[in-house]
Amino acid sequence: MVDGAAAGEALLPVQLPPVPGVLLVGVGRFGRHHLAEWQRLQHEGRVRLCGVVVQSASSAATLRASTGLPVHTALSPEAWDGVDLVDIATPSATHAALVRQCLLRAHVLVEKPLAATVDEARELHALARRHGRVLATGHVYLHHPLSHALAEAAAPLAGLPHMVHIQFTNPLDTMTPGLDALTEWIHAFDLLGLCTPGALQACSAWRDGHTVVASLALSSGARAVVRVGWQGVERVRSVQLADADLQVKALYEERLLQVQRRDSNSKRWIDLPTPPLRAEIEAFVRAAAGQGPVTPDEPTVLRSLLLAERTRAALGAPRRAAARPDRPRVAVLGGGVFGATCAVELAQTCEVVLFERHPALLQEASWINQWRHHSGFHYPRSIDTIREVVAAKAEFESVYENVIVRDLEAYYAVSAFAREITPERYVATCRANGLRFEIVEPPPALVRPDRVSVCLKTDEAVVEIGRLSAQLMRSLSGHPHIRACIGTEVVGGRLLDDGRKQLTVAGGHGDEAPFDFVVNATYANRNRISGWFGFPQRLLRFDLMEMSVLRIPGLPKHMMTVLDGPFTSLTSTGHEGLFMLSGIHQSVLASQVTPDGLPPALERRSANREGLLAAGLRYLPGLEHAEHIESRIGVRTVEAYTDDFDGRPTVVTPHGFGCWSVLGGKIVTVVTNARHIAREIARQLPALPG
């Protein structure tokens, strides 16, 4: 106690003199910046620098010579002469003890974090109140003008489900052994609280190299993924918020705020009239003089500490008890080609349950597919899709070579009436991406030569769907770590407090044990399943597609795609005389972007087989003898709004909490993307909840 204060008695706020005296404790890496700001304020006549405190005699001698200030090596009585304000910029582990000591004599500003625990921070704030002192913590990013702009831009998302991604990382070669990433970058939790208030409901965390990655569910409806630590070669300070209608991105190194809506994309570069550290120190001086609030206030400081504390606890939580604690449980929703492949790949290290609502595999998006074994020729206006296909092809072949039909000829031609894809541009694109082809005369039995400008014979093939389905079923049913629930629909789910996922199965099977990881490969039901766990919705376009299965006697097995124009494709099914016909316009029976992102009730009807045939006959003479066998009709689900309208890249969305959604893409990429998710799960294994 000081000044005779009784236990629990709060003193009146201590009044500052017009020009208060300042003592700086710690002049290390960051303390030097504090010293420069206090010297500036002293030069302006707003404070008096009474002295500094350092740890070693050699540092003290150097500072005396360079600054002319009194320099001390301890908080000795003479160091306190004339001191009204103390600024503590020492290593984190020393903060609480120094704050406790200094509050007895002065108002205190301390670098973040205030203390190691929330309880200790509460105790220090209570001590400050008892002695009539101002206690401020240096959460410098809360004084950054970009943070204020970010909070304003994020306001429309308040109370709505949305996703937050925050990254605070330094280059790997700057890492100092022994530093705690959660302590060093508590700023990430400051900004999370600034953008998305709400209580923490669930948390899971894991180490990825020298970074810590945390998934947090907040009562505000937000789901956040925070990454802090050391990685790569660049310093990154970024915050991204998104729902289906709005995306906000703050890049602190560039001082850039980007706000993207469906119909607009604005960028704003933020000026720094006052550096954030200077704003922090000036706010402290005003608060100590009774001229402004303490920033951040006590609840904000405690909330950031609580988030860091809960993340640290989740990081160190022991694994749950299980029969095989080394094999996490994974639910794969959807038995299409991606879901089934993902189940097989994940079963190498996980216990997998595959849920497919239909009585067989490959019944929805996989069924309305021409089953090309792509090499990249199909998307000349999407370099990203070409590169993705080229990079993934070898991995697909290493697993599925025996279901690929290669005894056919595969051609791509450019329409003579093309408006956007000229023959020169198409050939140049194929060459630039290293695709294997030769320019040939158009085969007159397959395509009308006068209607195309160039024809390429390529190395593409087709995947035989019957063989693939049989191979997948054998792999699923014969695997000791896979349970294939065919004809079983998952109708609900929820996120548990420890980050695991509880699923509800139709028919009252609600006793399924929780899952550590969930892969949503349902495509059309992406948003329905995301909604169960509070993940934000994504605007999707649902296309009702029709593919005609034709028998054409005497026509050799081949693939012929005519680019631009009607973008007509006739593709062998891998069986003699059987083909699938599609057209970019004629195959789409209906399209709809739904406000809630859920699939609409599109009427499934064969509406346009004659239109498909008529459009195809403009280029493909073999269709004159075609016999219609059946129309395959189903829903294709794609992004509603995308920067690449011609691309079909596979979109794997990490939601946090060990959940991923997969959308679209090419069959050839399924193995690569499944293995990517398997690697992500392997990184998170130490984070399995206790």
Nearest to residue 686, comparing CAs of 293, 318, 181, 309?
A: 318
pLDDT digits (tens, 9 = 90+) for 642-670: 543 455 667 888 898 999 999 877 899 99
Q: What is the dihedral of CA 387, 388, 394, 395, to 10 degrees?
A: 160
pLDDT of residue 323: 39
Q: Scan for tokens 């000791």, then name that residue.
A: 480
Q: What is the mean pLDDT of the chain?
A: 90
| pLDDT, average across residues 587-605 | 82
Q: Hey, which residues does 399 pair with through a beta bridge?
A: none
Rounded Cα gap, residues 403 and 470, in angstroms: 10
Element of type H or E holding 100: helix 95-102
Alpha helices in 142-235 (DSSP H): 145-154, 181-184, 187-195
CATH number at residue 255: 3.30.360.10
pLDDT of residue 49: 96
Rounded Cα gap, residues 185 and 31, in angstroms: 17
Q: Are residues 544 and 427 in the same domain?
A: yes
Q: What is the amino acid identity at position 116? A: A
Rounded Cα gap, residues 52 and 373, in angstroms: 71
Q: Are residues 486 and 351 in the same domain?
A: yes
Nearest to residue 238, comparing CAs of 263, 217, 256, 260?
A: 256
Q: Scan for tokens 């030097």, then name that residue.
A: 32
Strands 372-373 and 558-563: unpaired
Rounded to 10°, the helix 187-195/298-315 angle is 120
Q: Are residues 153 and 264 in the same domain?
A: yes
What CA–CA distances, in Å, run from 633 to 341, 371, 526, 639, 680? 23, 15, 20, 20, 35
Element of type H or E holding 98: helix 95-102
Which structure tokens are listed for 140?
């410098």
Q: Are residues 405 and 472 in the same domain?
A: no
Q: Is residue 548 part of a domain?
A: yes
Q: Are residues 410 and 532 in the same domain?
A: no
Instruction: Give 315-364 as a DSSP string.
Output: HTPPPPP-SSTTS-EEEEE--SHHHHHHHHHHTTTSEEEEEESSSSSS-S
Residue 310 has a CB neighbour count (10 Å cut-off) of: 18
Q: pTM of the full predicted structure?
A: 0.83
Residue 75 has pLDDT above 80, yes or no: yes
Cα 684 to its chain centre, rounded Å, is: 15
Cα 400 to its chain centre, rounded Å, is: 30
pLDDT of residue 641: 65
CA angle 432, 433, 437 (to 5 degrees): 90
8 Å CB contact between 102 and 86: yes
| pLDDT, average across residues 218-246 | 93
What CA–CA distances, in Å, run from 576 to 552, 557, 621? 9, 6, 18
Confidence band for 597, pLDDT divided at 50, 70 and 90: confident
Residue 355 has pLDDT above 70, yes or no: yes
Q: Hey, which residues does 593 pair with through a beta bridge?
A: 541
Element of type H or E holding 639: strand 627-639
Confidence band for 334, pLDDT divided at 50, 70 and 90: very high
Rounded Cα gap, residues 566 and 545, in angstroms: 15
Q: What's the total number of domains in the chain?
A: 4
Rounded Cα gap, residues 203 and 299, in angstroms: 20
pLDDT of residue 4: 34
pLDDT of residue 10: 45
Rounded Cα gap, residues 43 and 39, in angstroms: 6
pLDDT of residue 5: 37
Q: Are residues 152 and 28 in the same domain?
A: no
pLDDT of residue 11: 47
With H, G, I as helix, E, B as strand and everything else as coil, classify residue 667: helix
Rounded to 10°, the helix 31-43/276-288 angle is 60
Q: Hey, which residues does 264 pair with through a beta bridge?
A: 261
Which structure tokens are listed for 528?
């329905």
8 Å CB contact between 453 and 461: no
Query: What is the 8-class DSSP label of residue 686?
Result: G
Confidence band for 402, pLDDT divided at 50, 70 and 90: very high
Strands 540-551 and 482-486: unpaired
With H, G, I as helix, E, B as strand and everything else as coil, classify residue 272: coil
8 Å CB contact between 236 and 250: no
Instruction: Choose the final residue of a domain: 104, 138, 172.
Output: 138
Share of the chain above pLDDT 90, in %: 69
Q: Are residues 134 and 158 in the same domain?
A: no
Residue 25 has pLDDT above 80, yes or no: yes
Q: Is residue 114 part of a domain?
A: yes
Confidence band for 158, pLDDT divided at 50, 70 and 90: confident
Instruction: Compute the residue count for the chain.
Output: 690
Nearest to residue 372, comparing CAs of 331, 333, 411?
A: 411
Q: Is residue 572 part of a domain?
A: yes
Q: Are residues 352 and 473 in the same domain?
A: yes
Q: What is the dihedral of CA 486, 487, 492, 498, to 10 degrees?
A: -20
Nearest to residue 666, comparing CAs of 413, 390, 346, 401?
A: 390
Instruction: Choose the final residue of a domain: 90, 107, 138.
Output: 138
pLDDT of residue 13: 58
Confidence band for 253, pLDDT divided at 50, 70 and 90: very high
CATH number at residue 661: 3.50.50.60
Q: Hey, which residues does 542 pair with through a beta bridge?
A: 592, 637
Q: Are residues 449 and 514 in the same domain?
A: no
The residue that leads in pLDDT, 58 or 407, is: 407
Q: Is residue 38 part of a domain?
A: yes
Strands 490-495 and 501-505: antiparallel
Spell out a b/e string for 502-527, using b for 16 or more CB atoms within 10 Å of the CB, else e.
bbbbeeeeeebebbbbbbbbbbbbbb
Q: Is residue 297 part of a domain?
A: no
Residue 307 region by backbone torsions, left for phi larger than 0, else alpha for psi between -120 and 50, else beta: alpha
CATH number at residue 441: 3.30.9.10
Q: Hey, which residues does 412 pair with through a beta bridge?
A: 456, 561
Q: What phi, psi does 328 have (nearest 5°)?
A: -70, 160
pLDDT digits (tens, 9 = 90+) for 496-545: 888 889 999 987 554 578 999 999 999 889 999 988 998 888 888 898 88
Q: Are residues 451 and 495 in the same domain?
A: no
Q: Are residues 584 and 611 in the same domain?
A: yes
Q: What phi, psi does 531 have (nearest 5°)?
A: -65, -30
Name the residue range of residue 244's domain.
143-270+305-315
Q: Is residue 10 part of a domain?
A: no
Confidence band for 449, pLDDT divided at 50, 70 and 90: very high
CA angle 264, 265, 267 (to 5 degrees): 145
Confidence band for 368, pLDDT divided at 50, 70 and 90: confident
pLDDT of residue 511: 55
Instruction: Choose the final residue of a domain: 115, 138, 161.
Output: 138
- Close Cβ partners of 297 (under 8 Å, ≥ 6 residues apart): none
CATH number at residue 104: 3.40.50.720
pLDDT of residue 187: 97
Q: Is residue 8 part of a domain?
A: no
Q: 498: buried, middle or exposed (CB in 10 Å: 19+, 13-18, 0-12)?
A: middle
pLDDT digits (tens, 9 = 90+) for 459-510: 999 999 999 999 999 999 989 999 999 999 999 999 988 888 999 998 755 4
Q: Is residue 16 part of a domain?
A: no
Nearest to residue 455, comparing CAs of 377, 382, 388, 390?
A: 377
8 Å CB contact between 541 and 591: yes
Q: Are residues 89 and 117 in the same domain?
A: yes
